[in-house]
Amino acid sequence: MKETMPVVLGEELYVAIGDGQHEYIVGKTILNPNSTQEKALWERAAKASVIDELVQVCVFLSQEKDEKKAKELSDEILDYLIQTSQEYPDCVKRFKKNMKETIAKKQNIF
């Protein structure tokens, strides 16, 4: 699964998904866990974070390699998406906290 990370562009803060080399910006965040737009953003982020695993399921099924592995992986993906939905809005709070800690560390370096 890909990692969730903040990206600052100009004066705006975005939620991105990445693997250390590539980033995909999911959308702009306002860091308001009570917002329906914020919840939709984090649901999109969760779905985007499992794109590689979804591709692998497709490969297993299209090549008729291993339907059992495809089923197991799809179950794991579904469990992850359910779990992330249940963890909302805590994920926003953790993201905000991690972002503040990262900023503080960078400020201490300079």
* Nearest partner of 42 among 96, 4, 1, 80, judged by Cα: 4
Residue 109, pLDDT score: 66
Is residue 105 scored above 80 in pLDDT? no
* Mean predicted lDDT score pLDDT of the chain: 88
Q: How far apart are CA 17 and CA 20, in angstroms?
A: 9
Name which of 41-55, 56-70, 72-86 the model is least confident about: 56-70
- This prediction's pTM: 0.81
Name which of 20-24, 27-31, 55-59 the model is least confident about: 20-24
Q: What's the angle, vertex CA 25, arms to CA 23 and CA 29, rounded to 5?
A: 135
Residue 110, pLDDT score: 57
Is residue 3 scored above 70 in pLDDT? yes
Of the CA atoms within 13 Å of residue 81, those in its CB half-sphere come to: 17
DSSP 24-64: EEEEE----TT-HHHHHHHHHHHHHHTHHHHHHHHHHHHTT
3-state secondary structure of 2: coil
Residue pair 57/74 in contact by the 8 Å Cβ criterion: yes
Please report, for the chain, how many H helices and E strands are present, in that order: 4, 3
Residue 108, pLDDT score: 75
